[in-house]
Amino acid sequence: MPEVVPSFSNSVKLKYVKLGYQYLVNHILTFLLVPIMVGVTIEVLRISPEELLSIWNSLHFDFLQILCSSFLIIFVATVYFMSKPRSIYLVDYSCYKAPVTCRVPFSTFMEHSRLILKDNPKSVEFQMRILERSGLGEETCLPPPIHYIPPTPTMEAARGEAEEVIFTAIDDLMKKTGLKPKDIDILIVNCSLFSPTPSLSAMVVNKYKLRSNIKSFNLSGMGCSAGLISIDLARDLLQVHPNSYALVVSTEIITPNYYKGSERAMLLPNCLFRMGGAAILLSNKRRDRYRAKYRLMHVVRTHKGADDKAFKCVFEQEDPQGKVGINLSKDLMVIAGEALKSNITTIGPLVLPASEQLLFLLTLIGRKIFNPKWKAYIPDFKQAFEHFCIHAGGRAVIDELQKNLQLSAEHVEASRMTLRRFGNTSSSSLWYEMSYIEAKGRMKRGDRVWQIAFGSGFKCNSAVWKCNRTIKTPTDGPWQDCIDKYPVHIPEIVKL
C-alpha cells in the first residue's frame, strides 16, 4: 500500500507560519524599498566621476531661487514642529502602603461582620461566600475607623484617612524626584465617593503651600477609571502650558463608604474595596525625557452613559432602611464587556501592527459579504503590548479580560497579585500593578504597557505607555518587603 501523505497541518507548525506572515506584513515597506534603494545605488555607482561633474555643472541656480527654497524649507519645518503635540513624560510615581495595624485578615473581617450584622445572619453568610471567591489575600487593609465596632465613619475620620493616604504618597514622590512644591504647575486629585469642602485638591494646596496661580482640579463621582481620566486631563493641560509639571493624585477614601445595611448588591463593595492611593508626576519638559520612566502614547476613553442600564449598573443610593451604599448591578460584567469592545475598536488601529489590522479587516469583509456566521477575528493584542495592567476590580473582571483578549497567566499576573495583596484600591490599582512589574525586574526599554480601567457611568478607559529606559528593580515601593513571595497560587475558593 502506498504511504499516506502526511497532513500539512501536522507537518508544519502553523504558529511559525503566522509568525512569518506577521513579520512579512509588518515590514512590507522595508522589503519593497530596500531592493529599490539597492538598484538606485548600483546605477549611481556605474556613472563615472566626469559624468557626475557634467550633470552638476548643467544645473543652474540663482541667488533668488536658493533664498526662496531655503525660506520654504524653514517655514515648512517650523509649522511642522509647532503643530506637533508635545511629548508627555511620566517622571515617576509613588503608591501608598498602609501600616500593618490596618490589616484585615479574613477572620477579623468575618468576626466584625457577625457583630455588626448580628440581626441578619444571611448577609453575613453572603459576605463570607463573596470573600471566599474574591481573590483577596490576608494582608489587605482598611482604615482605622472601619476597625471599630460599630464603625465610626465621621467626616473628621474621613479627612484623616485622606490626609494619611494622599500626603504619604506625595511625600514619597517628592523624595524620589527631588520635586519642590513651587515646581508644581498643575494639580489634579481624583476621589470618587468622598468630596469634602474645601476639596481634596485644596487640602493638598494648603498642606504644601503651593503657588497661588496653580491650576488645580478635583474630580469626584467618576469611579475606578478616574485615574486615567486624570491622566487625560493632565495631558491636555500640558499641551497648552509649556515647560510645566503636573501632579496627579488618585485615591478612594473608604471611611465614609462602609455599608452597614443588608442589601446584597450593596454589600459587595465592603468585601472588595480597600485602602490605597498613588501620586504621579507628569512633565512636558524636554530635559525630563532622559530621566522619565515612561512616555504617554495614547489615551482612549469610552463612555456608555447614554444607556440607562450602563448608567445605573454602579449606583450610589439609599436602601429601604435609609442606609447609603453602592449598588453593583448583576448586568455589570455584560455592560463592562460592551464598553471594552467599544474601547478596543478605537484603540486597535492606534496600536496594532499592520498584520493584525489586515486579518481583522479581511474577516470583517468576509462576514459582511460571504458568511455572517464566520467567527469574528479577535486581534492579538500581545503583538502590540508587552505588559497589561487590568484594573483589579475583582476576580471576575480579570478572568473575563484574560479570556476575551486571549492573554496568558503571566500577562494578568500583576493584576491578580495586586488584587491579592492590596484588594480593589479603585483608581490607583493600575499603579500598584505597574509597580509589581517593575519590582519583578520585567520592565525593559521600549516595552509598551496597556492600562485598562472600568468605572461608574459606565466608562472604559485605556492608556498606553512606552518605557523610556530599562528600569532597575526598585528597593522601595509597596512591594518592597513581599515581592519575593509572589506570584502565589490563588485557589478558586478559600474555605473560611
- Residues assigned a catalytic role: 224, 303, 387, 391, 424
Write out the E strands in 22-126: 89-95
Edge-to-edge strand list for the sheet holding 448-455: 215-219, 186-190, 245-251, 277-283, 89-95, 294-303, 459-467, 448-455, 387-390
Angle among Cα 424, 426, 430 to the nearest 5 degrees reads 90
Of the candidates 247, 240, 173, 177, the residue with the CA atom closest to the CA atom of residue 211: 247
Separation of alpha carbons 435 and 447, rounded Å: 14
Amino acid making up residue 46: R
Collapse the DSSP code of 368 into the 3-class scheme (helix H, G, I; strand E, B; otherwise coil) and give the result: helix
Q: Are 97 and 278 in contact (CB under 8 A)?
A: no
Separation of alpha carbons 94 and 248, rounded Å: 11
> String of b and e for 451-488 (b: at least 16 CB within 10 Å)?
bbbbbbbbbbbbbbbbbbeebeeeeebbbeeebeebee
- Alpha-carbon dihedral of residues 469, 470, 474, 480, nearest 10 degrees? 120
β 277-283/245-251 pair status = antiparallel
Separation of alpha carbons 387 and 389, rounded Å: 7
Collapse the DSSP code of 461 into the 3-class scheme (helix H, G, I; strand E, B; otherwise coil) and give the result: strand
Q: Are 483 and 443 in contact (CB under 8 A)?
A: no
The secondary structure of 402-443 as a DSSP string is HHHTT--TTTTHHHHHHHHHH-B-GGGHHHHHHHHHHHTT--
Spatial neighbors of 203 by CB under 8 A, at least 6 apart, are: 159, 162, 163, 166, 196
Spatial neighbors of 408 by CB under 8 A, at least 6 apart, are: 382
Collapse the DSSP code of 496 into the 3-class scheme (helix H, G, I; strand E, B; otherwise coil) and give the result: coil
Spatial neighbors of 22 by CB under 8 A, at least 6 apart, are: 353, 355, 356, 383
* Cα 482 from chain centre: 23
